[in-house]
Amino acid sequence: MWNELLICGQCGSVYWQCVDKQQEKRWKCKKDAHKKGMGCDNLSLTQVQLEEGFLRVLREVMEHPSCMNQRKSKRERKQSLLEIRLTKEIQNLLMSPCCDAKRLKELAYERAVEQYQHTVVDDSDFQTEKLLYLLNHTPVPTKFDSHLLAETMKKVVVAKEGYLEFHFKNGYQRKIWLKEE
């Protein structure tokens, strides 16, 4: 489950589990793991650190569920340069004395494709409702639960400074400092 969620805060690569020199399983940035210590220099983590961090962030959110509404502002879709150009071309064609219907149809289709490709789907309110329902109907966990991880998290960013940044599915983010092992 973690290999689908863990992202390196240094280089943006994914994390994956590997065996270190002491034959311990650890989670490392894929760029570092491939280059055998010569790539990315972000932290390597144990399974215990990840699970404890998740449990801590989950307990904090369950104690203060109203924080789930304090997420980053919604993103609005911005027009691409191509969409702006196509819109102007459509407007010019419509204003011309002899409007080429075939060309107008082509431009409208091109613009629709461009708009679709840059559509931003914001389901954060729905995700917040789902998360709050789940957290209100789940007892405070005492041990790691992979199902809860899958249901609540979009990604987990590993920061070299020594913390994990948990990104919930509704856009809410929370940092948890790692405990030394």
Is 88's pLDDT higher than 70? yes
Whether residue 133 contacts residue 171, with contact meaning beta carbons closer than 8 Å, is answered with no
Report pLDDT for 40.
Answer: 87
| DSSP H or E run through 53 | helix 47-63
Beta-carbon contacts of 151 under 8 Å, excluding residues fewer than 6 positions away, are: 134, 169
Report pLDDT for 70.
Answer: 73
Alpha carbon 151 to chain centroid, angstroms: 13
Distance CA 89, CA 107 (A): 8
Cα radius of gyration (the chain)? 23
Is 116's pLDDT higher than 60? yes
Phi (first) and psi of residue 48, to 5 degrees: -60, -45
Whether residue 162 contacts residue 178, with contact meaning beta carbons closer than 8 Å, is answered with yes
Q: What is the pTM of this model?
A: 0.73
Buried b vs exposed e over 16-36: b needs ≥16 C-beta within 10 Å? Answer: eebeeeeeeebbbbbbbbeee
Distance CA 121, CA 106 (A): 26
Give tens-digit pLDDT for 35-47. Answer: 665 678 899 999 9
Give tens-digit pLDDT for 118-167. Answer: 887 778 889 999 999 999 999 999 999 999 999 999 999 999 999 999 99
Report pLDDT for 37.
Answer: 54
**DSSP string spanning 61-126?**
HHH-GGGGG--PPPPPPPPPHHHHHHHHHHHHHHHSSS--HHHHHHHHHHHHHHHHHT-----HHH
